[in-house]
Each structure stands twice: as C-alpha cells, then as structure tokens.
A and B are shown apart, each in its own frame.
Chain A
Amino acid sequence: MGPIDLAQVQAELDARHDRDLYLHLETTTGSYTALGPEKLPPVIAFVRNATVRFDRAMVTGEGPYRVGLKLHGGWVYAQGLTDYTVNERGELLLAGHDAEGNLRVALQLSERPFRE
C-alpha cells in the first residue's frame, strides 16, 4: 500500500463500474479513546460485504482524498483517504492513515466477498 495516485485510483475505479461488487466501508477512532486525556467515547462504524453497483465513481481532493460512488439509487462516500493498493486478490483497498500509521477510514471494493 502506498500514497494515492489520483490517475491510477481513478482508473481502478473506472474499471469496476457497472458490476456487482462487495463493499467494505469503515471509519474508526480506535476503541481506547475513553482512556485518553479527553475521555472521548469511541466512534466506529463499518459495513462489510454489502453489495453495490455504481454508474459513476470519482476520487478527488488535494490529499487526503475523497471518493464518491454514485450507485443505482444511492451513494457511497469516504473522506480522508491517503493510501491505496490492489492486493493479490484483485481487491481495491483505499485507506486513510494518521501520522502514526493508524487506520482512520477505509473504502474497499472486491468482486468476491471479503473474508468474513
């Protein structure tokens, strides 16, 4: 996984349009924020292996980047993306990391279900 290259990520998104895909979408503060100095409750959400199909997809911004997928009847959105890879299973993995390497947001698309 390395820094997002807008043209390459756009090409990866375009190559996946109008097909049934499995989505992993996630945002996380981590589980231990309540132990930090500000005692904030954790905020975590994820969807894994929901199926989506999009007409249009775009990656944009100056970094960290945003991705929007226009579905047949809805949207998928992620902000704060910094890095990407296409792994050995052909899955497009987009992630946003903080300065220490912690994951903050992830948007992933696969033609096969992600491992349960």
Chain B
Amino acid sequence: MSILPPPPERIDHLVEGMTLLDPSAEDGLLVVLPHPDDESFSSGGTMALASDAGVPVTYLCGTYGDMGRRMGSPFFATRESMRDVRERELAEACEILGARYELLGMRDRMVEFEDRREVAGRVREVIERLAPSTVITFYPGHAVHPDHDAMGLATKLAVEGLTKRKPQLLGVAVGDRQQLRALLGPPHVAVDIRSVRQRKLDALRAHRSQTEMMFLRWAKQLEEDEQTKAFRQEMLTVERFYRLNGVVGPSG
C-alpha cells in the first residue's frame, strides 16, 4: 500500500502571505540542526531541490542522536549501538537528498549545557568556510526539544557574529500549528516541495530506527484521524520557515 498521497494541485492556502523561496537559486545551503533526521523532517525537500540544481548542500548535525528512545520497531538498536546506527542512517538520508554532512559530535540531549559561545564559534567556522547564501536552523524557543532550541540559538549567535557577508537565516518552528501562529504569525518563507516529495519520504525512511513506527502507523491508514492525514500531506507539500535575521530573542 502506498503511503504517498497524490500531491494537491493548488497550494495557495498553505503558503498564504509567505514569500516563495526557490532553493535552486541559492549559492549554497547549510542546514544546522542537532539530530540525525531533523534535516529530513524539516527541510528534506528544500535540500533535494537545491542539490538537484547543483547548489552545494551541507547538513551540520550537532549530535549523533544517541539518546533517542526510538530503537526501531521492532527494536534493533541498543543505547550503545545507537550512535553508529544513526550515523549510517544519516549518511544514507544525506545521499538521497544530495547533501554532504558534518557532525559536531555533541552528546544527544546535552547541547544546551555546552558552552553556548563555543558551540556558536564552531558553527561560525563552518559558515565562514562554506559561505552559504542561506542557513536553516531551529527557531530558538519555539522548537519543543531543548537540543533544538539550543542549536537554533547557537546558530543565530553564529550568524550574528559574522563580520563579513551574513547569510539569510531561516528558522523551523515545531509544535502546535495554531499556537505557533498565534505567537509568531504565519511563517515568512515557503518552499514548494511537491516535485521531490518521494525523495523526502525516502530520506525519512532511511532514518529507520526513528521513523519505522511512523511509517507502520501511516500504512494503517484506517486508524488515522484527519489531523494526521493533513499533517502528512502538508509535510510532503511545503516546507515553511521564519526569517530569523534581526529577530530579537534569547541571546548570549
């Protein structure tokens, strides 16, 4: 049974008031998030569209994701094998998305307890080396998982500390859509990913230890409520971001 729904013909209602971003027009795309699989969920389509157009795409991943509770369904990983399992999954997902990856090697869950300026400095070095035109990270304070918030904050500090050309900084917000809109307004930027939805799905599937359960549930379509279906349809149709350049928020 295919879990890939046909793409909607119109996306106007999903991108109302947002600027459409064309990833193929970028000079370089850098995605900075803490866990293997964050990249595929949040921006897999954007990454695929950019790399297909020859834009260099790098995923700078903060941790090995080695404290996750998902071990596969049925479980096949242990706490100690998790690190290697997830790096292999990350390599496969990045290959599908046409991206290269680098790891900062922090311990999963511990990002917020590292020295914020040191982490920001390491991110800044990578930005200076790769000189991307756009950097994607989590929206600090609106990303649910403490690692997400901390990585978003470090990346925001890294960009603010750049002395030369600053890239566009885009933030991924996580959580209840309505609540986020009430707090932050609608996202500023949207990417139409309909043409690469299968790639995004394949990249998600490559993160098998984390997504196997989700795919099992999706396959049992009968049990799904309308909200779940709408969520899946949307995540395979558009990726939406907030512009973080100049946003006042938690800082160093």
Contacts and interface: CB of A to CB of B under 8 A. Distances in A.
Chain B interface size, under 10 / 10 to 19 / 20 to 34 / 35 or more: 20 to 34
Interface stretch (A6-14, A29-37, A63-71): A29-37
A52 B175 CA distance: 40
A97 B73 CA distance: 10
Interface residues of A, number: 30
B113 interface: no
A107 to B, nearest CB: 10
B136 to A, nearest CB: 21
B71 A103 contact: yes
A111 interface: no
Given A32-B145, A108-B80, A115-B83, A101 B109 contact: no
Given A26-B79, A89-B80, A34 B73 contact: no
A37 to B, nearest CB: 11
Contact of A46 (B67, B74, B81, B146): B67
B172 to A, nearest CB: 15
Contacts of A35: 144, 175-176
Contacts of A32: 144-145
Grouping DSSP codes into helix (H, G, I), strand (E, B) and loop, the B interface class, with mixed when no group exceeds half, is loop
Contacts of B83: 115
Given A1-B78, A24-B79, A108-B79, A101 B67 contact: no
B69 interface: yes
Given A32-B145, A100-B73, 20 more contacts: A28-B67, A28-B69, A31-B146, A32-B144, A35-B175, A35-B176, A44-B109, A46-B67, A83-B75, A87-B78, A87-B81, A91-B80, A95-B78, A101-B70, A101-B74, A101-B75, A102-B70, A102-B213, A103-B75, A106-B79
Interface of A: 1, 24, 26, 28-32, 34-35, 44, 46, 83, 85, 87, 89, 91, 93, 95, 97, 100-104, 106, 108, 114-116
